[in-house]
Structure 1
Amino acid sequence: MAVIYLYCIGFVACFYGVGSVLLPNDDKKLPCDVRAQLDSGWVCGSIRPAEEGVQYASFRGIPYAQQPLGALRFKELQNLSPWKDVLLATEEGPICPQYDELYGRLVNSAEMSESCILANVHVPLNISSFGSKSESQDQPKLPILVFIHGGAFQAGSGNSDVHGPEYLVSKGAIVITFNYRLNVFGYLSLNSTKIPGNNGLRDAITLLKWVQRNALAFGGDPDNVTLGGHSSGAVNTHLLSLSEASKGLFKRVILMSGVANAGFYTASPIYAETVAQMFLGLVGINSTDADEIHDQLIQMPLEKIMEGYRVMQFQTAVVAFAAVVESKFDGVTQILDDDPTNLIKQGRGKDLPMIIGSTSNECETFKRKITYLNMVKLIEQNPAIVLAPQITYTVAPTRATELSQTVLDRYFQGNVTIEKYIPCCSDTFFVYPAIKVAEWRASLGGAPAYRYEFNFDSTFNVAKAGLMLNYEGSGHIEDLTFAFRSNSLMRPNEKSFPPRTRDDLMKNWMTSIVVNFMRCSKPVCDDEATWPATDAQQLNYQQISEPVFTNNNVPLTEAQRNMFDFHNQVFQSAGI
């Protein structure tokens, strides 16, 4: 059989499919463009076109641990047993069980299964790569971006419909995305050994350890891993940076529209207990014994669990299960040992360089969902829902009502409307928490933190097209669509945007920010003055509103400062 070697990056064995690659110890044949030897066995991938004439090796649907089936449904992930033959990894596998409330046409329909613990690895090939030289290879080892998908802890996947790697691999970065357990399976907490909560975060730790063991097999540098995430994926990223369990697994973090402190979720054990009891009632479990509850849940059909969760998700307005402060249990990796706000103030993770991003009009993306939920009526019935959940589950109900009135006075002036709720939502759940993290990081010393606000008027707006919305400014997800290709809405094997147009230039700008940060821990490597780190007094940030880089690093405006001071006062009044 004729095999032509096209590329070899690191320890990746690359082949052009003149014939096919034989399966070891078998007489069957398997079409294989590219393969790599992992610690658990060989994987066969495909060579795909990226952009600018670049090709990349794509390994999709690789299991990074045993699948959590049966008795393993709520256990910490177990190591894989090696496989004998070559594993076909050319297509994405099933996504984790979920109900999508956010992404709409941005995501493709996909099979759902609890056998969803899968990683996708994308490696650039025919480019002038960068990185440190391997001791055993002439080729430089490539920097790695591990990216955690969003979806409010409830939905999403690492698939290329939303997280197409084409833009970033074209700039010489290895991109790794993955699925992790969601909603009930990822974040249900009974505060017990068998269901401690935070399984989604433990899955991410397992994936990061898998990357450390297998980075060289893909030509990657295990000492140059950047961890990033969007929305709840950014929250997970930030939480992992605060966790002792993740030490040494990554060097820097990118947070896009999500941080670990008070935002659109709370890590309160009181909240976790509340939603657990609500869910157990919906699936007909009346026991109060944690072990007995666990035994019933691992035997319960997936369909019954998901039906109970579906009802609960509607009742809790999307964010049902979330990360939680854990008790310490023998044999369980503890991820979150204190409230994230306390950990940040204590300086956990302060030595990791950080990018913190938000958009100019975050909650416009959720307008259809907000309207469907009849948010005006919900606020009238329970004014406390305008507060950050951390406040609601920290103070007494009467105090929450008092504090919510100050928010109502500022944002609504006696007339609650959807239009007025949008900026309240954006400030409370996204913008204020992002600025606060930047302030804390600047005050603590340690590694620099860089903040940006994305406010770009694009010609073809992927987010608005996918969600069928129209609004001013940039909403949630929009910055992500210029760092990752939205393959659900873009034609395969075609350039995403016409060359040198505003959209094409913005794609280049956003991916440059990410890849520069992977290279030098700064968003701009060659001229630090053009994007300085956030200062604790000025709270400066980069305005990303034009598709080419300009020095647009500015302090908070008077209106932004007033908003920031207002929310500071609300939290201080709550004793947080």
Structure 2
Amino acid sequence: MESRVSRLSLLVVLVNALAKVDAQTTVTINTGTIQGFSSTVDGIRVNTFLGIPFAKPPVGDLRFAKPQPPASWTGVKQTVKYGPSCMQRPNEFGFPNATQVSEDCLTLNVFAPNTTGVKAVMVFIHGGGYYFGGTFHYDYTEFAARGNIIVVTVNYRLGAFGFLSIDGANAPGNLGLWDQIEGLKWVKANIKIFNGDPQRVTIFGESAGGGSVTQLALTAAARGLFQRFIPHSGSAWADWAWSTRSPELSMKIGKIVGCNVGPAERAELLACLRKTDAEAYLNASFEATVGVPGLLFYCPEVDGDMFPKSLSDVFKNADSDVVRHFRSLDYMGGFNDGDGAILTPPTATNGMSPADLRDKWIPLKAKDISPEHEAKIAEVLTEEYYDSSADAITTARRYADILTDWLFTGAMGSATAAHASPTGGSTYLYYFTKVPSFGYVVSPMPPWFRRSNHADDLSFLMGAHHPTMVPNATFTDEEKEFSKKMMTYWANFAKTGNPNQPVSPSTTWPEYTASGKEYIELGDVISAKSDVIPKRMVLWTNTIPKIRASAFSTAACGNFPHVFGIAFAVLCALIKYLAYM
């Protein structure tokens, strides 16, 4: 009898426990009830909800339209797996590829610790050059648990589905950013249900996600939806973060898929492209870029709506409403010492000769940076990065430095300097140099590469519990401790705007100032320093921008006033051509 009572008591306990789990993983948001699942990290339970719709599927007449609030549902929606990623092709950089893609992709995911108290919220915007990626391989369970914060990850439309203006107000560009804003509106409306604080929202993103979060900080359309932002290795100050090619590319896509319309028939083009098969439209968007110069093609643009003015015009007036709001937000950003290695040429497996760097690769990059100023830019790049006595390994690393600085260093340095203000929000800068023992996110890499590659910082921010950036990654004990320290800084900032509070770190992260240029190096040794890679930073935030803003220049023809630059550049090209005839 005693045994039966014991078993009955145990059964009651188990039933109650199961009921408790169900109650914690079933919640009702403003569109219906959702059922997630729980997992634990060192005894801390995290409730996870995946694939929650935050907007109507952008299909049919909603293709190329701003996102619309989602429809409600009855019953309980199972939110236990990621939704499809937005339309894309497999990427060429070695990042994880989406296994399922669809136009019906506007979903988000919530990682919420099952602990008491109202929590700060962090919303993650994934990278991928604005044309690939998704939330499917960003598992923030451990970060949510250790930081005692809620993490939300958001899908958004990509490539020509998300960043191509076709017919002005009827089909605006920047739809991917509008999707991100719709996700933030969902957070504001629903995050209290998960014990989140809608007044303590930090947006953070990597690469194009870093570009996105700074762009959101610069538009009135996102105002009031977040209070802090963290760009990782990407900002709106990068050339690749903006495009001006929508008129050209939209017509080329239309021609490829059989929309036979004239340049002025934008409404007809829009109607035709809305009827085009999604896969055919995707393929045409890639075909349309063949032979078009540039690194990225489908990106945010100055549209007169979300962005009425260009970045340079906005910051001509330091007292403008946009600049004052940008500086009022708390900022923490940085970059990795090997970010640019994603573009390392495959021929550099065994290094690079100094002669090749000087005579081939520097001129190519100078032309990419500014064709009109190619000669002068090649000159300053050679002065900084070329060493005739260096070995092949050192020279290859210097070329990787050029790529890092061109794509990321200058953009992050400029964003940080633009934000710092005595009367604004807090400003913090990091330099990430930790080399993972378990492999790079971008792979394979040449054997001489021993830096922190693009996105390697995210491996440590997500932790060792369930690594999704590098398959089968195994952290050393030292790397686990480093990961915990990084999580503490990030969670602190989300809670207070200060990475040193409320949990005191072992190394205090100094606030960035215009005079001291303070930063923290996150490497094998975490240390507070000043003036990160100073000569290179000045080159990319001051010297090269001044060259690009100056009169047009060519080696054969000298300098010309900017207003006549294009005509003279064409003339000089003709002169060069005739010289070789």
Same fold (TM over 0.5): yes
Give 1:299 deviation, angstroms.
0.4
Alpha-carbon contact 1:167-1:511 (below 8 Å) kept? yes
Aligned residue for 2:147?
Answer: 171
Match of 2:132 among 126, 148, 155: 155
Partner amino acid, structure 2, of 1:478: D
Alpha-carbon distance between aligned partners in 1 of 2:253 and 2:384, rounded to the nearest angstrom:
33
Question: Within 2, Cα distance between the matches of 1:305 and 1:235?
Answer: 25
The answer on 1:272 being equivalent to 2:239 is: no
Q: Is the 8 A contact 1:312 1:320 kept in 2?
A: no
Residue identity matched to 2:283: E
Q: Secondary structure at the match of 1:451?
A: strand
1:208 aligns with 2:184: yes
2:104 to 115, 133, 136: 115
Offset at residue 402 of structure 1 (A)? 4.8
Q: 1:85 to 1:442 in 2, by over 3 A?
A: same
Q: Which residue of 1 aligns with 2:539?
A: 563
Match of 1:351 among 317, 323, 328: 328
Q: Which shifted more, 297-306 or 565-574?
A: 565-574
In the TM superposition, residue 153 of structure 1 has moved relative to its aligned partner by 0.3
Partners of 2:45 and 2:113 within 8 A in 1 = yes
Aligned with 1:540 (options 518, 525, 532): 518
Q: How many residues align?
A: 515
AA at the equivalent of 2:414:
K
**C-alpha separation in 2, matches of 1:383 and 1:312:** 27
Asked whether the 8 Å contact 1:169–1:175 carries over to 2, the reply is: no
- The runs of at least 4 aligned residues of structure 1 exceeding 6 Å deviation read 369-372, 379-382, 414-418
Does residue 301 (structure 1) correspond to residue 292 (structure 2)? The answer is: no
Structure 1 equivalent of residue 461 of structure 2: 483
Q: 2:157 aligns to what? A: 181
Give the superposition deviation at 1:543: 1.2
Letter in 1 for 2:454: H
Structure 1 residues 284 and 169: alpha-carbon distance in aligned structure 2, compared to 1, 3 A threshold? farther
1:353-432 alignment to 2 at 5 Å? 353-367=330-344, 386=366, 392=370, 399-406=372-379, 409-410=382-383, 421-432=399-410
1:442 CA displacement: 2.2
Please state how far the C-alpha of 1:312 moved relative to its aligned partner: 4.2
| Deviation of the 1:445 alpha carbon | 4.1
Q: Give the AA of the match of 1:253.
A: F
Paired residue for 2:438? Answer: 460
2 CA distance for matches of 1:562 and 1:188? 34
Shift of 1:344: 4.6
The alpha-carbon distance between structure 1 residues 480 and 443, as it changes in their structure 2 partners (threshold 3 A), is: same
Equivalent in the alignment of 2:218: 242
Q: Distance in 2 between matches of 1:382 and 1:478?
A: 26
Q: Distance in 2 between matches of 1:410 and 1:215?
A: 52
40, 64, 67: which one aligns with 1:74: 64
How far apart are 1:561 and its partner, in Å?
Answer: 5.0
Q: Which residue number corresponds to residue 573 of structure 2?
A: none
Gaps of 5+ in 1: 8-13, 18-31, 128-138, 328-333
Q: Amino acid of the residue matched to residue 99 of structure 2?
A: A
Structure 2: gaps (5+ residues): 1-10, 552-561, 564-581
Once residues 496 and 140 of structure 1 are traced to their aligned partners in structure 2, the CA distance between those partners, rounded to angstroms, is: 33
- Which among 301, 310, 329 is matched to residue 339 of structure 1? 310
Using the TM superposition, give the Cα deviation of residue 314 of structure 1 relative to its aligned residue in structure 2, in angstroms: 6.1
Deviation at 1:449, TM superposition (A): 1.2
Cα offset, 1:387, TM superposition: 6.1
Partner of 1:10: none
Does the Cα contact within 8 Å between 2:430 and 2:521 map onto a contact in 1?
A: yes
Among 69, 84, 88, the alignment partner of 1:98 is 88
Q: Relative contact order, CA 8 A, sep 6+: which one is greater?
A: 1
Q: Look at both structures and tell me which one has the larger radius of gyration over its CA atoms.
A: 2
SS in 2 for 1:423: helix
Q: 2:575 is matched with which residue?
A: none
Q: Letter of the 2:128 partner, please give it.
A: G
Q: Are 1:257 and 2:233 counterparts?
A: yes
CA spacing shift, 1:172–1:407, aligned 2, 3 Å: same
Q: What is the CA-CA distance between 1:408 and the residue it aligns to?
A: 5.2
**Aligned counterparts of 1:513 and 1:342: Cα–Cα separation in 2:** 34
Deviations 1:40-70 (A, max 9, x none): 0000101123x32322111001110100111
Bigger CA drift: 421-430 or 310-319?
310-319
The residue identity in structure 1 corresponding to 2:429 is R
SS of residue matched to 1:509? helix
Structure 1, residues 5-41: CA drift from partner, whole Å, max 9, x if none? 659xxxxxx7436xxxxxxxxxxxxxx9711100000
Higher helix share: 2
Question: Secondary structure in 1 aligned to 2:120?
Answer: strand
What are the residue-to-residue correspondences of 1:13-32 with 2, within 5 Å? 15-16=20-21
- Measured in 2, the distance between the counterparts of 1:207 and 1:169 equals 22
